[in-house]
Amino acid sequence: MMKLKPLPAALLSALFMTSAPSTVFADKTVNLDAITVSGNQTNDRENKIVQIKDDIVQTEVISAKRIQQKQAGNLAEAIRDEPGVRVSTECSMCGVKRIQLNGLKGEHTTLMINDVPNSSIVEGFYGFDAIPMAGVTSIEIARGAGASLIAPGAIGGVINVVTAKPNKDSLSADFSWGNQDYHKYQVVGTKVSSDNDTQILVAAQSDNIDQYDEDNNDVNESPSLTNQSLVAQVWHQFTAKDQISFRITDLQSEVFGGPMVGSYLATSRQDARSQQPGTSPGFVDNNVNNKPSATSTARDFLENIELTKQAYTGKWFHDFSADTQSRVTASYVDSSMDAIYEPTTYKADQDIYYFDARVDHFINAEHALTVGMDSKQDKMKSKSTGGTQPANDSYNQNNYGLYIRDIWTPTNRLEISLALRADQINVKFTDQDRKFNDTVLAPRVHIQYDHNFNWTSRLSAGQGYRVPLQFFEADHGILDDGFAVDVDKLEKSNSVRYALAFESAQTIFETSYSWTEVSNLTTIDTENYAQPTLVNTSGEGVVQHADISASYQIDGHWSVGATLEGFFYDKKYRSTFGVIPIEERLRLMVDYIGHGWEANVTATGIGERNYKDYTGAAYYDHYNQAGGVDSKGTHSPAFMTVDMQISKDITRHWTVYAGANNLFDYTQTSDGDSPLFYDGANAGSEDWDVGHIWGPLRGRLVYGGVRANF
C-alpha cells in the first residue's frame, strides 16, 4: 500500500517558482478557425500523458489512441483520472457518477457534444456512463468558468466530445470480452464522396458489465451497466461558401443495482422488479457486512434505471467573405428516465431545444470579433410513486443569451480574448407554482503569451452562473418524502486560472493553478423544512486546484509521464459534499511503441483523507452495525491502482490486444470497508445507506480483444 503525504506546499511552490525564458517567437498566421470556441486540432502525440490544444483557452486533449489504451467504452471511463478531473461514484447501488473539474462539484460541469451544450440534467448523473466512444476523435477538457462562450453555466469547466469530419473511406471494428460478463463491441464506418463535398460517419456500440459483490453479502458494491448506441453524422459542402452538417444520436442505457441476480434475493431482474418491499428491511444482526435479513426482499435494495436519448443537431456554415463567416446551430434532445429506487418509482421526460447564431469577423490583422445569440428551452416533467409525497420536481426553463467577443492580437506573441455574455433566465417549477427570473452579465478574459517557441502562458478569469433546477442535482433517488423548492438565487462564481506549458521534440510539460469562489451554493435542507427542500446557502465557498504534468520521449520506443495534483477546499465548500472528494493524486505512466507492439502501464495513487474535514458527508458518524457499533474510522487510507494494456499488430489491418483495469484487484471493500453503512450513533435497523465511498468499488477486470481497420 502506498502512503501519499500532503502535497499542497510542494505543488504551489513548483507552480510559482517555474520560470519561462523569453525569446523571440516566430510569426504565426491568424486564420478564421482561431476564433472558434473549440476546434479539432490536437498535437500529433497520441502516446503522451499530456496533450495541449493550440487555443487561447487552456484545453487538455484526450486522443482516440489514449481512449483505446484505457479500454474506455464510455465518457466516464475515458476521462477518469485526467488532470483536474474526478469521476466520483456517489452510490454503490446505482453507480451514479458526478464529473468534477478542478475540485468543483458535478453540477458545475458542462457537457458538450461537438461544441453544442444540449445535455440533460439526468445525463450529469447517469449519462457519462452511456455516452459511447465509438467514432469519437478526441475529448477536450477546458477547466474554469468561462471556458466556453456558449456554455455560461460551466462554473467548473467544459468537457467537449469531438467527432471530426472524416477524410477517407474506412471501416473499423473493435470487439472485446472479459470477466465480470464484460463485452464492448464497436463498429465505425466512414464514406467520402469522389468530389470530397460529402462525408458520412456511422458508429454503433454495445457494451456490458455485470454486478460486482466483493464481500458476497448479496448486495452489490457496483451495479451492472448495459449500453447500446447508434450515431450518424453527415457533412456536405453545398457551394464554395456553404457547408452543413447533421447528426443523429440514439442511446439506450440500463443500470441494475442492489440485489445480486442469482442470489436467494432474486432469481432474475424481473423477479427483483416484481417483488414487494419487505416488512422490516435490513441486515442479519444489523450489520452491513452480513446478508440481508429474512424480513427483507430484493425490492428493498433495488435501484434500476433505464435511460433513453434521441438527439438531432444541425449546423450551417456560410462564408460571406474571406474575413466574415456565420454559423447557425439548432438542436433537439428528447430524453427519458424510468427508475426504481427501492420502494419508490420515478419517471422523467425531458425535451431540450437549443439554438445558436453567430458571426465571426476579422476587423483587421489585430482584431477578430464574434457576435452571437443563443436560446435554450428545457422542459422536464416527472412523476413518482411509492413515497409519502410525490417528487414534484418538474420545471420549465427558458434562457436567452447575447454574447460578444474580441480576440486582440497586438503582437505575434500576445493574444487577448475579451468576452461578455448577457443572459435572461426564466424558471418555473410547474408542480409547485414557484418561479424565479434573473438577468445576469458574465465577463471573461483569456490571455495567451508565447514566451518563445517552447514556452506558453495562459491566464483566464471570468464569472459564471448555474441555474439550480432539479432534486437530482442535490440528492438523487431519495424520493420518499417528495421535494420542495425554496431557491431564489442563481449560483454565481468568480474564477481565475493560470497555466504554463512547455513543448519540445521530446518533452511536454504543463503546470496550472486555479481559484474559484462560488456564492449561493444550493443544497437539500431536511432539518428546517417539513420535507426535503432545495435551498440556497449563505456565504461563499472556495476551491483551489494545482497540478503539474509532464511527459518525456526517452527514445523512438519508450516514453514516460507523470501528473501530480492537489485539491484544496475551504470549510464552506467542504460542507456541501455528500461523498468525500480527493485531495491528492499522483499518476505515473509508461508507454512502449515499436515492432508492431504497443504497451501502456498507468498507476494512480490517491492520498488519505480525514473524515472530520467533511461535515456534510459525516463519514466519522458511519458504522458497520446499528446503534453506533463498529465505527468506520476517522480517515480513508491512501491507495494505488494500476491499469495496463498490450497490443500487437498481426497485419496491416488486424490488431489483437489484452489488458487489465485495477490489475492488483484493490477495492475499499477488500480493505475491510463496505460502502454500506448505518447512519449515526442512534441508527436503527432500517437506517442504513449506500454512500460511504472513498475508493474503488469494482475489482480487477481482465479483457482481451481484436481490432480491424480497413
Range of the domain at 495: 36-258+302-709
The answer to the question of residue 3 being in a domain is no
From the number of C-beta atoms within 10 Å of its C-beta (0-12, 13-18, 19+), residue 21 rates as exposed
- Which grid coordinates are listed for 689? 445507506
H/E stretch holding 594 reads strand 584-594
Half-sphere exposure of 51 (CA within 13 A, CB side): 21
The answer to the question of residue 28 being in a domain is no
Phi then psi for residue 193, to 5 deg, are -70, 160
Beta bridge pairs of residue 219: 259
The answer to the question of residue 268 being in a domain is no
Q: Do 64 and 136 contact (CB within 8 A), yes or no?
A: yes
The answer to the question of residue 9 being in a domain is no
The whole-number mean pLDDT for each consecutive block of 10 residues of the chain, a chain of 710 residues, reads 41 38 34 34 46 75 94 95 94 92 90 89 81 95 77 84 94 98 98 96 98 97 98 96 97 97 96 94 96 96 96 97 96 94 91 96 95 95 83 88 95 94 92 86 93 95 83 56 81 93 93 94 82 85 96 95 97 92 98 96 98 95 96 97 98 97 98 96 92 97 98
- Which grid coordinates are listed for 24? 523571440
What is the spatial distance between Cα 505 and Cα 692, in angstroms, rounded to a whole number?
46
Q: Do 494 and 145 contact (CB within 8 A), yes or no?
A: yes
- Which grid coordinates are listed for 257? 443495482
Phi then psi for residue 251, to 5 deg, are -125, 140
- Which grid coordinates are listed for 674? 463496505
The answer to the question of residue 40 being in a domain is yes
From the number of C-beta atoms within 10 Å of its C-beta (0-12, 13-18, 19+), residue 44 rates as exposed
The answer to the question of residue 91 being in a domain is yes
Alpha carbon of 572 to those of 155, 399, 437, 496: distances in Å?
17, 29, 26, 19
Residues near 319 by beta carbon (within 8 Å), at least 6 away in sequence? 240, 241, 242, 325
CATH number at residue 391: 2.40.170.20
Report the pLDDT value the prediction gives residue 251, as an integer from 0 to 100.
96
Residues near 542 by beta carbon (within 8 Å), at least 6 away in sequence? 515, 516, 517, 518, 569, 570, 572, 573
Residues near 411 by beta carbon (within 8 Å), at least 6 away in sequence? none
Number of domains in the chain: 1
Residues near 651 by beta carbon (within 8 Å), at least 6 away in sequence? none
By C-alpha distance, which of 129, 133, 383 is closest to 257?
Answer: 129
Instruction: Quickly tell me which residue has 510559482 as its cell.
Output: 16
> How many Cβ atoms sit within 10 Å of the Cβ of residue 516?
27
What is the spatial distance between Cα 335 and Cα 433, in angstroms, rounded to a whole number?
24
By C-alpha distance, which of 554, 460, 450, 446 is closest to 503?
Answer: 450
Q: Do 218 and 259 contact (CB within 8 A), yes or no?
A: yes
Three-state SS for 144? coil
DSSP 128: G
Written as one letter, the residue type at 681 is: A
Alpha carbon of 257 to those of 226, 367, 419: distances in Å?
12, 55, 45
Three-state SS for 105? coil
The answer to the question of residue 274 being in a domain is no
The answer to the question of residue 625 being in a domain is yes
Q: Do 586 and 49 contact (CB within 8 A), yes or no?
A: no
What is the spatial distance between Cα 133 and Cα 218, in angstroms, rounded to a whole number?
32
What is the spatial distance between Cα 34 and Cα 291, in angstroms, rounded to a whole number?
59
Residues near 495 by beta carbon (within 8 Å), at least 6 away in sequence? 144, 145, 146, 155, 460, 461, 462, 463, 464, 514, 515, 516, 517
By C-alpha distance, which of 364, 371, 375, 368 is closest to 327?
Answer: 371
Strand pairing class (533-536; 484-486): parallel
Give me the torsion for CA of 422, 426, 427, 433, rounded to 10°: 160
- Which grid coordinates are listed for 458? 495562459
Strand pairing class (182-192; 688-689): unpaired
Vertex 233: Cα angle to 231 and 237 (nearest 5): 180
Q: Helices (DSSP H) in 249-322: which residue ranges?
A: 269-274
By C-alpha distance, which of 302, 293, 288, 296 is closest to 674?
Answer: 288
